[in-house]
Amino acid sequence: MKVLLRNPSREIEVPGPLRVHALLERLDINREAVLVISDGTLVTGDAVLPPEVTVEIRPVISGGAL
């Protein structure tokens, strides 16, 4: 599957199928800090990502000035 990452923006290939939690663990990403969007649809941690999808891992942490 194609995985889009941010900060900095980049694209990597990860073999599927894979559960969302497993993908995040493999990439060492804290699940509390991101949303996972598969082909434009928000998915839960137990969802299985098939090999042909495009997955965006979108960071949700923000904040400088408060």
Partner 1 sequence: MKCRACSRPAVIDIRRHNTAFCQDCFVRHCRDQVERTVHAYDMFGPDDRVLVAVSGGKDSLALWDILLDLGVRADGLYLGLGIGEYSDASGRYARDFASRRGAKLVEVDIPTTFGFDIPTGAPAARRTPCSACGLSKRHLFNQAALDGGYDVVATGHNLDDEAAVLFGNVLRWDLAYLGRQLPVLPADDGFARKVKPLVRLSERETAAYCVLKGIEYIVEECPMAEGNRHLGYKGALNDVEVRSPGSKAAFYFGFLERVAPLVETHATEQRADLHPCPECGSPTVSEVCAFCRLAEKARRNASRGGHPPETDSSTEHR
Name the residues that contact partner 1, by CB under 8 A: 6-7, 30-35, 37, 41-47, 58-66
> CB of 14: closest distance to partner 1 in angstroms?
21
Nearer to partner 1, 27 or 30 (CB): 30
> CB of 19: closest distance to partner 1 in angstroms?
11
Q: How far is CA 46 from the centre of its chain?
A: 13
Nearer to partner 1, 26 or 31 (CB): 31
Nearer to partner 1, 12 or 35 (CB): 35
Helix, strand, or coil (residue 65): coil
Q: Provide the β-strand partners of residue 37.
A: 42, 56
Burial class (CB in 10 A: 0-12, 13-18, 19+), 42: exposed
